[in-house]
Amino acid sequence: PERHWGWLASSASGDLDLLTQHWRARLVTGERPNQALYRFHDNRVLGRALAHLRPEQRSEFLGPIASVCYWQDGQWAAAYNPAPGEYAVPPDPAWLVIPSAPDTAAGIQIDNVRRYLMVEQMEQLAELARQQDADIWIQAQLELARTWGWQAPEQVRFLLAQRLQAPGDALPKSWSPQLDETPQTHFQRVYQQVQFWQGDATV
């Protein structure tokens, strides 16, 4: 159970075709081109959903399942469906707007950054990995971005690209935020400074 793959379910009907149909309808979320797979088999996903759903939403989520048993926080947990049956997927499923746990969100962000760098900055990432633990480095850059309030994707990409050029070097002093400088103003100043030194802009 610690590998977060699967959970146990009970159903009075025992109709596996109905159960398969229920989860197939919930497997792919979103509209093209922004579709994603809903990892209903992951007990962490199931547990978070059940913790946040109201009873009537729980029935729409579990459908024909009467009860579930799943691994959560180092122990087995159980949840019950107040009205098992057939349910259509609602237009805005409540189980898709569950807030991620902070450690889960941080892990997802590190995974996404690693994938981005493998596609866009493969050689620099490989060189970094020869010198130090790439995930620890990524985590440090994301923490720096959070500290500075640089949360927009283009701000994080800029920081990663610039830091990859000299991953072991200290940050230039001019990159530090100035007093009364908003995160956006800070980013624009540093961005223009880098553009100037690369010969792509004038100050």
Q: Are 26 and 89 in contact (CB under 8 A)?
A: yes
User: Could you tell me which of 110, 166, 101, 98 has the C-alpha nearest to residue 134?
Assistant: 110
pLDDT, one tens digit for every residue, the chain (203 residues):
777 778 999 998 778 889 999 999 999 888 888 788 888 888 888 999 999 999 889 999 999 999 999 998 889 999 999 999 999 999 999 999 887 666 767 777 888 888 899 999 899 989 989 999 998 999 999 999 999 999 898 999 999 999 998 877 788 899 999 999 999 999 999 999 998 887 765 54
Report the predicted TM-score, pTM, of the whole model to 2 decimal places.
0.54
Question: Which residues are registered as beta bridge partners of 79?
Answer: 68
Classify strands 8-10 and 67-72 as parallel, antiparallel or unpaired. antiparallel
How many angstroms separate the CA atoms of 134 and 122, rounded?
A: 12
User: Could you tell me which of 105, 125, 106 has the C-alpha nearest to residue 115?
Assistant: 125
- Length of the chain measured in residues: 203
Question: Which residues are registered as beta bridge partners of 77?
Answer: 70
Which segments of 81-136 are extended strands (E)? none
